[in-house]
Amino acid sequence: MERQTITIYDVAREAGVSMATVSRVVNGNPNVKPATRKKVLEVIERLDYRPNAVARGLASKKTTTVGVIIPDVSNIFFSSLARGIDDVATMYKYNIILANSDGDDQKEIQVLNNLLAKQVDGVIFMGMHITDALRGEFSRSKTPVVLASSIDPDDQVGSVNIDYKSATKEAVQLLADHGHQNIAFVSGSLLDPINGKERLIGYKEALQENELKYTEGLVFETKYEYKSGEQLAERILNCGVTAAYVVDDELAVGLTNGLTDRGIKIPEDFELITSNNSLLAEIARPSLTSISQPLYDIGAVSMRLLTKLMNKEEIDEKTVVLPHTIIQRDSTKA
């Protein structure tokens, strides 16, 4: 009783038409007489025929699948992007192959090649920085690539981001407006362009416009982890800091809890602004004032852009910048 796979050929024979005709009705080609279409559809139904997407992919050179390279799905920041990507992908009848890279340069390349071997029609990449090697792989493949919430100095590929520099500047400005003299910049690796090029510059500009001195001692480089934030509390206090701009929510919550555990009152004694407005910012106590990056939208728009690239549609602008706002919560004074 082995279940026999029904092929297009079986349907053609049963319906008394050619494979081509069956293929046409399956693909919604209008050049089929209604009566024929009806007959074929009936047979398809009766035989429970399901087209084999792999064969289709080989013949048409389209897999309706896109590769998504993500540092870590279990990180709420990236998974929010991923959700936006998948929803739009589904909307356009694509599936996504999701591959975790841990932000590791080697893995990223390996994963990319694996994805290309699977003939994905496009790739969405999330990562903190783009190595030359990776850039090389991108450009030698003809497969369209879009960076989601990742920036590349020379934008050969599409990308969707917010204006990190301005956003940071606004956040730091808000802190300066509240009279803080020592405002910390709490970041992940400064080698990542979003931190080192965009945000840090925004931070410096804001300081400058408020006639505050920039000191390297107030720039804290650490990991995007809850624990790291917690541990940072002590060091930050020792530096006489009274306000901080933090680039990551998990880190920010760690810092918040670390400060609170040391008896610091937020926002009375210390004000803090985080960057991603993920659920964590809302959940934390006190809840965290945050730059609102439209994470879901960044994912969604990235995928939308990718569909255009895959269709070779005319693109007005390969580099999309989405608007951001600042959501005031309880980690800053009203």
Partner DNA sequence: TTGAAAGCGCTAACAA
Partner DNA sequence: TTGTTAGCGCTTTCAA
Q: Residue 263 corresponds to which tokens in the numbers above?
A: 């008896």
Q: How many CA atoms lie within 13 A of 268 on its CB side?
A: 4
Cβ nearer to a second copy, comparing 102 with 209: 102
The number of helices, as runs of H, and strands, as runs of E, in the chain is: 14, 12
State yes or no: residue 65 binds DNA (CB under 7 A): no
Q: Mask of contacts with DNA, 39-58, x by CB under 7 A?
A: ----------x-xx--xx-x
Q: How many CB atoms lie within 10 A of CB 153?
A: 10
257 sits near a second copy (criterion: CB under 8 A): yes
Cβ proximity to DNA, 36 vs 260, nearer residue: 36
Angle CA 168–174–177, to nearest 5? 140
If binding is defined by CB under 7 A, does position 95 make contact with DNA?
no
- Using the rule CB under 8 A, is 50 a contact of a second copy? yes
76 binds, among a second copy, DNA, none (CB under 5 to 8 A by kind): a second copy
Quote the least distance from Cβ 119 to a second copy, whole Å.
5
End-to-end CA distance of the chain: 72
Is residue 76 a contact residue for a second copy (CB under 8 A)?
yes
Residue among 288, 271, 244 at smallest CA distance from 178: 271
CA distance 270 to 264: 7
- Residue showing tokens 């496009």: 122
Q: How far is the CB of 114 from DNA (least distance, A)?
A: 14
User: Residue 56 or 83: which CB sits closer to DNA?
Assistant: 56
Residues 4-23 binding DNA (CB under 7 A) are: 5, 7-9, 16-21, 23
Site string for a second copy, 7-36 (x = CB under 8 A): ------------------------------
Residue 96 site contact among a second copy, DNA, none (CB < 5 to 8 Å, cut-off depends on kind):
a second copy
* DSSP states along 279-304: HHHHHSSSPPEEEE--HHHHHHHHHH
Q: Which of 30, 74, 268, 313 binds a second copy (CB under 8 A)?
A: 74
Query: Which helix (DSSP H) or strand (DSSP E) does residue 44 occupy?
Result: helix 34-47
